[in-house]
Structure 1
Amino acid sequence: MYDTVLVPTDGSARSRAAARRAIDLAAVYGATVSVLSVIDARDLGLWTSADVPIANVQATLRDAAEMAVEEIAALASESDVPCETTVRIGVPHREILDFVEERDADIVVMATHGRKGLEHAILGSTTERVVRLSDVPVLTVRE
C-alpha cells in the first residue's frame, strides 16, 4: 500500500513526533521514509549583507536543516527502516508538493503545526496548504 512515506521536518519536537509515526507506518508496510527539510527562501530575505554575510546565513540554515533530517534518519535506522534525506531551499509547501510528485510518494506524514504567532496568521500554515493541495493522503500528527 505504501512504498514511500514522506516526512517534512523543521527540526521541531512536533516534527519528530510525526516522524516517529511515519517510521512506524513505514515499518508495517516495508516502505522507505523520505525526510525533507526545506529552508524557507522567504527567511533569507530577512537578512541583508549589512547585517551579516548572506553566505553565513545560508550555511547556518543549511546546517540546521541537515541536523533535522539526520536526526530523523537516526530514528529510522534504530527501527531498521530504510531512509533517505533531502534538504532544499524554497517555499516549504511548494517544495513538499513537488517532492511528492518527483519521488512518487504515497503519503505525507507531518506535524499539525510548525510556525506560530503572527507569521502563521499572515502566511497560513504549511501543513494546511499541503493538506489542501496534495494529491496523496496527508496524515497530520499532533505532538
Structure 2
Amino acid sequence: MSIKFPVLLTFLCLLACHSHKAALLRSSNFLNENILLLNKILRTKASCDKMNVTNIFADHKKDDEVELLCKAATVAREGQSCYRQLEGIFINLHQLVTRASKDFKAPCPVAAGNTTSLKDFLLDLNRVLQRLAKDYRI
C-alpha cells in the first residue's frame, strides 16, 4: 500500500500550517493570561503600589516589542515582593521573549534612569499586552 506523492505533500502542508497556528495560539494564551493577571493585580490595593521601578516605557520604540517585553520581565521580577502574581507574569513574558527571538534572553538588563510607580508600570504593561494580543504581533 503506497501513498501517492500529492496526497503526502498535501498532508505535510496541512501539518505545517497547523503547527504555525498552534504556536500563535500559545503566544496568544500567554498574552491573555498576563492580561488577566494584570487586571487582577490592578483591582487590588497594596501599599507597595507606589514602589519605584524603572520606566521602560518612557523611550519605547514600536519596533522593539520583544526587547520591551524582555525588559518588562525584568521589572516584573523586581516587583514580585509586592505582588505574588508578578511571578506568573514574569514566567509568561519570559516564554514570549524566548519564542519570539533568539537575540534576547529574559530577564534583560534595564538601565537606571526614569522611574515610575509600580502601579503605573502595570497599567502601561497592560496596555501594551492588550495591543499585542489584538494585533497578534508576538
Same fold (TM over 0.5): no
TM-score for the superposition, normalised by structure 2 = 0.29
Higher strand share: 1
Higher-Rg member (1/2): 2
